[in-house]
Amino acid sequence: MTNGTTFYNKYRLMRPIGRGSFGEVWLAQDQAVNHEYAIKVLNAGIGIDQRLREAQVGHAFTHNNLVRVHQADVATDGKVVIAMDYLPDGSITTLANPGNFLPLPTALRTVIDMLQGLEHLHLHNFFHNDVKPQNILRGPQGQAKLADYGIVGISANGAPVQPSSWYVLHAAPETVAGNGIEARTDIFQTGLTLFRLLVGLPALEAKFNTLGDAAYADALAKGSLITRADFPPFIPNAVCRAVMTSVDPDPSKRFQSALDMRRALEKLSFAGHWTVDATGMLCGEDARNTYRFEHTSAAGSNASVSAFKTNRASGRETRISQFTRRNLGNAEANRLADSFVKAVVEGKIG
């Protein structure tokens, strides 16, 4: 496919915007109504029915948090061509900072939005089965929209169904054990997605590469893949608990629905958060100030921590004496730095 290729006599391809395992996504212009669409071209290889199902699911639902499919057809060479809403801002992975994670409020907002899309799918006994950061796109009002219905499972009554395939990094224990997918499988995948947004988009891939396929699946099945120690200190305990509940190997111990999970996340609210700036430095933010700290490790009792805040309105930086100390042991200095980042998130800086 090249720029200028035209499908259905009206969708003229403008430029490639992404590539997945099953095909390519292009920006296209509908020349009849002069409107931009994203055109997904699914290569032959998997059955036409399965490829068209992606389009049928995307066309069946109109929801603010689901990407809408408008039209689909089979081209003469057997390719399936799907025209969907074009979301110029791409996936939420573009919001990652240089530390490769999303600031806490953005990560929570994204998942809350996306869960509303899932609620709608689950209401109709559709299980998405491919919840991951790359499949959450940014809508025109900044809302998150769930995309990619390529491996959706459709159940007659909400009972588990066997998926056509699954994404290994997010494979729930019940799926690996051969018990298929259900609504709570999407909760599991949402938990892993939230983990990656908060801790680092490549965080699971790193674990997978270290452990290997079998040990990774085993750790997910034992509930030992993710522990509190995986989260940086600026992620509050309540948020970690929400992730751990979502990824419990036993579906009956997870949030029981997308609505339950959304309500739990909506209750979480924090005064501040931390991000990584263009220089790679960790910086805290709340409504009034930005925060930074200098942490020097040294042998003996020579470690130190200096914490600072800058008033957004005046631009004036002041030292925060409560979290500034010299002549500390390394462990003590680590604890002080951790308590500073937590205090910013919890709004406990004087």
The stretch near ligand ATP (CB under 6 A) out of 2-10, 19-27, 117-125, 266-274 is: 19-27
Q: Does residue 54 contact residue 152 with C-beta atoms inside 8 Å?
A: yes
Stretch that binds ligand ATP, among 58-66, 142-150, 301-309, 321-329 (CB under 6 A): 142-150
Using the rule CB under 6 A, give the single segment among 78-86, 96-104, 119-127, 191-199 that binds ligand ATP: 78-86
Q: How far is the CB of 20 from ligand ATP (least distance, A)?
A: 2
Asked if residue 272 lies in contact with residue 285, where contact means CB atoms within 8 angstroms, the answer is yes
Tokens of 222: 């034992």
For residue 134, count CB atoms less than 10 angstroms from its CB and return exposed for 0-12, middle for 13-18, buried for 19 or more. Answer: middle
* Cβ-Cβ contacts under 8 Å for 162 (sequence gap 6 or more): 153, 180, 181
Closest approach of Cβ 93 to ligand ATP, in Å? Answer: 8
Stretch that binds ligand ATP, among 13-21, 45-53, 207-215, 253-261 (CB under 6 A): 13-21
Rule CB under 6 A: say whether 1 interacts with ligand ATP: no
Task: Specify the DSSP element, H or E, that contains 207.
Answer: helix 203-211
Question: What six digits make up the tokens of 250?
Answer: 């036993």
Is 110 a binding residue for ligand ATP by CB under 6 A? The answer is no
The DSSP code for 141 is: T
- Amino acid sitting at position 38: A
CB of 23 to ligand ATP, least distance (A): 6
List, in sequence order, every residue forming a beta bridge with 15; answer none if it has no partner: 27
Residue 61 touching ligand ATP (CB under 6 A) = no
Which residues in the 262-321 window bind ligand ATP by CB under 6 A? none
Interface residue with ligand ATP, options 11, 28, 29, 38 (CB under 6 A):
38
Q: Assign 306 to helix, strand or coil.
A: strand
**HSE toward the beta carbon, residue 243, CA cutoff 13 A:** 24
* Residue 40, marked binder: yes
* Contact call for residue 134 and ligand ATP (CB under 6 A): yes
Q: Does 188 bind ligand ATP (CB under 6 A)?
A: no
Q: Any contact of residue 90 with ligand ATP (CB under 6 A)?
A: yes
Q: Which residue type is seen at 208?
A: F
Instruction: Check binding of 80 to ligand ATP (CB under 6 A).
Output: no
- The answer to whether the beta carbons of residues 262 and 194 sit under 8 Å apart is no
**Shortest approach of ligand ATP to residue 173 CB, angstroms?**
21
Going by their DSSP bridges, the two strands 6-7 and 303-311 should be labelled as unpaired
Binding of ligand ATP by 81 (CB under 6 A): no
**Strand bridging mode 126-127 / 136-138:** unpaired
* Contacting residue, 12, 18, 50, 248, with ligand ATP by CB under 6 A: 18
Which residues bind to ligand ATP, rule: CB under 6 A? 17-23, 25, 38, 40, 67, 84-87, 90-91, 130, 134-135, 137, 147-148, 150
